[in-house]
Each structure stands twice: as C-alpha cells, then as structure tokens.
Amino acid sequence: MPQSVILKTLILDGEVSLAVLDTTALVEEAIRRHALTPVAAAALGRTMSATTYLCSWLKDGESSLSVTVCGNGAGGKICAAGDGDLHLRGFVENPQADLPPRGDGKLDVGGFVGHTGTLTVVRDDGEGIPFVGTSELVSGEIAEDFSAYFLTSEQRPTAFALGVKIAPDGHCLGAGGVVMQPLPGASEEAISAVEAKMGQFFAVSTLIEERGAEGVLRMLTDAPFEARSIAFRCSCTREKVENLILSLGMEEAEAVLKEEGEIAVHCHVCNTTYRFGAEEIYALFGRKHG
C-alpha cells in the first residue's frame, strides 16, 4: 500500500487553497492497531484525515495539535493528534461499537459519533499558551463538523469532503478527502465556485481508491503541487515509560512487581503495551536484582 500523502496547491486564480489527502495507509494502520469495526474506522479515519489537514498548516515539527470529537453516539469520544511533521495518531473510545449501514448503504458515521456534542481543537505552536477552539457538532458526519469548526472558531469558510471505504474483510480500500479553503479576500465568484466543485466529491473514498490523490487533484487543476507524506506515529516511547516508572519510585515499583510479576504500561492512543521484568526495573533504578 503506498504511503499516505497530502497534496496542496492553489486553484481558482490563486484565490482558493486546495488540499487532497490519501490517508488509506494511515487508516489501515489505525484499524490494525485498534481492531476497529468498519464504522469506527470510518469515524476515526475521517477525523484523522481532517486532523492531518490542520497539521499541514503547523509551522514545524515542534508544533502540535489535537482534535477531540465528543458526541453522544455509540462510539464515544474520538481523539486524533499530530505534529508539523505529519506524524498522526488517534483512537476511539469504543473501537468495537458497530452499527448497521444507513439506508443509502453508507457507514453510519453520524450514528457512531452522535448528532450532538462538541469538536475541540487544541493547537500548540510551541510558544506560550496553546490555542483552544470549540464548536458544536452539526451532524456527526465529521466533514460538516470540521467546516462548522472552521467557520465559527477560525472565521474561515472551509469545505471538506471526507471518506473512508472499508472492504467486507475489514481492510481500508480508500480513505482521504478534498479540502477547499478560500484565502482571505477571495471573491464571491471563487467562493461559489468552491461549492459547485465540491459537489463532485460525494463519494471521495471511491475516487481516492480508483485515482489516488494526484488523480483526484488533476480533476481540478493542472497546476504544480506540493506533496508531503503522512505517517502513523505515536508520541509514546519506551524511554518515556521508563521515566514514568522512575517517577513512581522504587518502593511503588517493587510493590507492583511483587503483585504482577512485571510492570506493564499501556498506551491507549496507539494500543501498545510496554512490559518491564524485574531485572529491567532494578537496572532502571540502578540496583542489583535481589
């Protein structure tokens, strides 16, 4: 499977920023790590695609942001986060929650997320207090919710088409989206052209599956574009977990060892368990075992 990418360029006489994302590999990795049901994969995949788009505007790898979609649906909370290097991670509260498809055959992402709740973005530019923006969910279908977020919290009209297509065997066939954002001062003509152009991306996951990101971008423009790769990477490391254990103190660590025979620390963001045996724990505290 090719690496996930985001392509960016300007369209409509340079008045509108266009981004096309192929996040198929990213979503496949999320499915593998979290054993997601198809509807959970669609909800998390759409959220991670939109989060990637937000991350693509961060200044550098030191900046980071996180998105929390907190709705009243079966899936519970959905969290995605990433940095300026486009290293993304994410999880859902109830990865095993499942729902029957909607009447039109599409996955019921709105039912999974819930139709009321909030979308919160926390952006840390690495300098001072992080920016926090919140908006009300519109439909729980994610794309409309991010459009509403941009309009109410950042005062930027932004059109999102997001999609995730899952095969009957649970694998991701195509995921990603198209985002159009008129630049400040864009003409009324450009803004209404965006609405007209977005209409052709109703089934964007199928377009990504069939044409790839570049093929989709070429439906809109022949202009050169900037391409950046996207990867699933959690911020957890064995070293960070070691520091966490050190902060417990030797007495507490020994008590856990006595009870459990090991110390296991789980990162729920990427579903990785770090295990430490007695030898390692004693070495960590600079002591000899026994």
- Binding residues for Zn ion (CB under 5 A): 234, 236, 267, 269-270
Tell me which DSSP letter residue 79 carries: E
Pick the closer one to Zn ion by CB: 231 or 234.
234
To the nearest whole angstrom, how small is the minimum distance from the Cβ of residue 88 to Zn ion?
Answer: 12
To the nearest whole angstrom, how small is the minimum distance from the Cβ of residue 5 to Zn ion?
Answer: 23
To the nearest whole angstrom, how small is the minimum distance from the Cβ of residue 191 to Zn ion?
Answer: 40
To the nearest whole angstrom, how small is the minimum distance from the Cβ of residue 236 to Zn ion?
Answer: 3
Pick the closer one to Zn ion by CB: 118 or 272.
272
Pick the closer one to Zn ion by CB: 238 or 289.
238
CB-CB contact of 56 with 6 (8 Å): yes
Residue 107 CA to residue 257 CA, distance in Å, equals 45
User: Helix %, strand %, coil % for the chain, to 5?
Assistant: 35, 30, 35
In the chain, count of helices (H) and strands (E)?
Answer: 9, 12
Listed residue (186, 132, 138, 125) closest to 154, CA to CA: 132
Pick the closer one to Zn ion by CB: 150 or 276.
276
**Strands (DSSP E) found in 1-128:** 4-11, 16-22, 64-71, 78-83, 87-92, 117-124
To the nearest whole angstrom, how small is the minimum distance from the Cβ of residue 238 to Zn ion?
Answer: 11
The continuous run of DSSP H or E covering 26 comes out as helix 24-34
CB atoms within 10 A of CB 97: 18
Pick the closer one to Zn ion by CB: 118 or 235.
235
Pick the closer one to Zn ion by CB: 256 or 267.
267
To the nearest whole angstrom, how small is the minimum distance from the Cβ of residue 272 to Zn ion?
Answer: 5
Q: Given the DSSP bridges, would you call strands 87-92 and 226-232 parallel, antiparallel or unpaired? A: parallel
CB atoms within 10 A of CB 61: 12
